[in-house]
Amino acid sequence: MSDIFYLSLQYIRYHKKKLMVLTFAITLVSWLPLAMQSIVEQTAEQLSARANSTPLVIGAPGSPLELSLGSLYFRTKTPNSLPYAELAKVAASGYAQAIPLYYRFNAQGNPIVGTNIDYLVHRQLQIAKGRHVAVLGDAVLGADVAKKMALGVGDYVISSPESVFDIAGVYPLKMKVVGILQPAFSPDDQAIFVDIKTTWVIQGLGHGHQELNNKASMAQILKKDGDNIVANASVNQYNQITAENADSFHFHGDNNQRPISAIIPVPFDKKSQALLLGKYLEEQGRVQIVRSPKVVNELLDTVFTVRDYIVVGIAMVGIATAIVAALVFFLSLRLRKGERFTLARIGASKIQIFLLMAIEVISVLFVSAFFSSLLILATESYGIQLLQKFLLT
């Protein structure tokens, strides 16, 4: 038997290029549909898990898909806003705890999420280092953001301006990193969490500036008419909230009219969820309530349909590849006709000749199956990370 293997090995060594091409083609064709299936299923699982943990989202009228995905992943550009007063309405309904979200701003592409401590409790996010946000200007970083920006507790993160051409706009806010979250293996790892009021400061709805009612500010005063002081643009507005200037920070206008992107209602029970849904469905137009799992499932249904088309396409390519491989093997066998004749003349049995010919096919299929299995395992473990790296870099 060893003589058969010896001859086969020599054959493979001599025809390694041809066999490598064949192995590569078969490996790819067998791996691709399974990889596609695996990635889509993993993504679907994670999307569904995130959506199921946030069954309802309330936001301004607009695309339910963008509202859901924005609230779950903080990636929507300039989301529609609704007034903060809506939060109190949800809480007053008695059906749910209401968590505000304002995810309009970012720092170097990482979303800044204005919310309150209830969000961290709701998502079961744990502090790895430092502490929770306590005062205006504090920031807690998701694990990935901290790693990517190489920031630790005590460092600073600066909000990015919405437009580089907005010279007269609000100054970026320098926020102190007071905590780093443990990895949650979710989009929260890629977010910067601040108090909702801090996002309003970023927007310029609240600010701190030098005292105008003292002698030191005389140079900045353009006009003083009774209680009315008109100052020029050189008034020193603070771009960082510190213990020294925190008292000077203040908000103007009605707190209830300040913007938020969305509200996550956390219903107390199933009945409360149904009642809250009913209440808001009656008010569609002013605000909208969306069922995240339904929205995500609709998205996934479409994705699964398209995936099926792609899998069918890959299967057809696979069939074509199999036919080509068969043709290659067939031609190979024809080319080896002289070899078979010689083997028969020197006394090789029919079984030995058959095995010698078969080993070429078997070894190609076996090696392809081996590499394909390795690739599938790698896809299950690292496929989405690689996709992430590929798409985000």
Partner 1 sequence: MKDNVKKILLLLAFSAITACGPAVKVEQASSPAANEIIAVNSPLAYFTRQLAADLVAVNLPFKNDIDPSQWQPKLDDIIRLQQAQLIVLNGAGYSSWLDKVALASAKLIDTNANNKAQLIALPKQSTHSHGPEGEHSHSGYAFTTWMDMTLAKRQATAISDALIKTYPDHRIEILDRTTILLAQLSQLDADYNKLAKRLEGKTLFYSHPVYQYFQQGYNLAGYSFHWEPNEMPDEEQWQTLSRLRKNNSDALFIWEDQPNAQISKRMNDLDLDLVVIKPAANRDELNWFTEQQLNIERLIAVLN
List binders of partner 1 among 131-160 (CB under 8 A). 131-136, 138, 144
Among 33, 59, 100, 293, binds partner 1 (CB under 8 A): 100
Query: What is the SS3 assignment for 268?
Result: coil
* Alpha carbon distances (Å) from 31 to 284, 313, 375: 47, 14, 7
Site for partner 1 in 300-339 (CB under 8 A): 300, 302-303, 305-306
Q: Which is nearer to partner 1, 80 or 248 (CB)?
A: 248
Among 20, 21, 85, 121, binds partner 1 (CB under 8 A): 121
Among 126, 242, 256, 349, binds partner 1 (CB under 8 A): 126
DSSP result, 202-219: HHTSEEEB--SSSGGGGG
Site for partner 1 in 198-217 (CB under 8 A): 204, 206, 209, 212-213
Among 155, 162, 339, 380, binds partner 1 (CB under 8 A): 380
Choices 17-25, 190-198, 280-288, 337-345 (CB under 8 A): range interacting with partner 1: 190-198
Site for partner 1 in 57-96 (CB under 8 A): 65, 69, 73, 75, 87-88, 91, 94
The answer to whether the beta carbons of residues 85 and 257 sit under 8 Å apart is yes
Q: Which two tokens stand for residue 366?
A: 């076996």
Q: Which is nearer to partner 1, 75 or 174 (CB)?
A: 75
All residues at 6 or more sequence positions from 392 whose CB lies less than 8 Å from its CB, including other chains: none
CA 5 – CA 299 distance, rounded (Å): 53
All residues at 6 or more sequence positions from 106 whose CB lies less than 8 Å from its CB, including other chains: 112, 159, 160
Among 12, 15, 37, 43, binds partner 1 (CB under 8 A): 43
Query: What is the SS3 assignment for 57?
Result: strand
All residues at 6 or more sequence positions from 8 whose CB lies less than 8 Å from its CB, including other chains: 356, 359, 360, 363
Q: Which is nearer to partner 1, 284 or 302 (CB)?
A: 302
**DSSP label of 209:** B
Give the binding-site size for partner 1 (rule: CB under 8 A).
Answer: 84
Among 36, 117, 317, 355, binds partner 1 (CB under 8 A): 117
Site for partner 1 in 224-243 (CB under 8 A): 227-233, 235, 237
**Minimum CB distance to partner 1, residue 65 (Å):** 7
Site for partner 1 in 254-293 (CB under 8 A): none
At residue 87's C-alpha, the angle toward residues 83 and 88, to 5°, is 110
Number of neighbouring beta carbons within 10 Å of residue 291? 17
